[in-house]
A and B are shown apart, each in its own frame.
Chain A
Amino acid sequence: EAGVAQSPRYKIIEKRQSVAFWCNPISGHATLYWYQQILGQGPKLLIQFQNNGVVDDSQLPKDRFSAERLKGVDSTLKIQPAKLEDSAVYLCASSDGTGPYNEQFFGPGTRLTVL
């Protein structure tokens, strides 16, 4: 079974530039998550999709971050414009089903450096 795919793996940009990350979840997984993991901290949920609808985006900085899930499968996360404090690893995860007892499967992450 193929895992969660993310691209790019690494990205370096200047502040105020834009950047986009892509995620392809495990086939058939209804729920997709985007997390921000700052060095030395645990993952922080940015947004959760169930199929192509948003379940929770309460911690997404909506003035600069946006996300969409195309046809309930792939997802993109965009930052525009980026700030220095956005430097982090962005993790995508998916789970089979929508219950809170389902474990999540994580992709390798995208390491973003904002200069």
Chain B
Amino acid sequence: AQSVAQPEDQVNVAEGNPLTVKCTYSVSGNPYLFWYVQYPNRGLQFLLKYITGDNLVKGSYGFEAEFNKSQTSFHLKKPSALVSDSALYFCAVRLPYSGGYQKVTFGTGTKLQVIP
């Protein structure tokens, strides 16, 4: 069974400082990994994904994430936080086809609060 963990319910960071939102996963195989952001009263928006290749993935709004296979992590990062980055962030994992259907599993979410 696959699972994904976001160990921090909330992350606070000062505007202009670098931010990191953590995600670790547990799967038997090479996963596809995703980050989504959810603004208040809105649906989730895709930020970035790791499929294969370069471990550093760049996405929307200046976000990037680093895939670390040995640590089974896919942390979301941004060099300089903006107040408008304040939102709920979800990590998700999915396995490639292996003779059967693989559903996507979402983490419980991390609330990012950027302080002016």
Number of A-B contacts (CB under 8 A): 56
**CB within 8 A of B46: which of A55, A91, A101, A103?**
A103
Chain A residues 94-115 with CB under 8 Å of chain B are: 99-101, 103-109
Instruction: Note all chain B residues with C-beta closer than 8 A to A107.
Output: 43
* Interface of A (DSSP majority class): loop
Instruction: Note all chain A residues with C-beta closer than 8 A to B103.
Output: 45, 48, 56, 58
Instruction: Note all chain A residues with C-beta closer than 8 A to B106.
Output: 42-44
User: Are A106 and B96 CB-contacts (below 8 A) given A43-B106, A56-B101?
Assistant: no
**CB within 8 A of B97: which of A4, A58, A100, A103?**
A100
Chain B residues 34-77 with CB under 8 Å of chain A are: 34, 36, 41-46, 49, 51
Chain A residues 40-83 with CB under 8 Å of chain B are: 40-45, 48, 55-56, 58
User: Are A108 and B43 CB-contacts (below 8 A) given A42-B108, A45-B104?
Assistant: yes
Instruction: Note all chain A residues with C-beta closer than 8 A to B34.
Output: 103
The answer to whether A100 touches B49 (Cβ under 8 A) is no
Known: A44-B106, A104-B44. 9 other contacts (CB 8 A): A41-B108, A41-B109, A42-B107, A45-B104, A48-B103, A55-B101, A56-B103, A103-B46, A104-B46
Chosen A-B contacts, 5 in total, with CB atoms closer than 8 Å, are: A4-B43, A91-B43, A100-B96, A101-B94, A108-B43
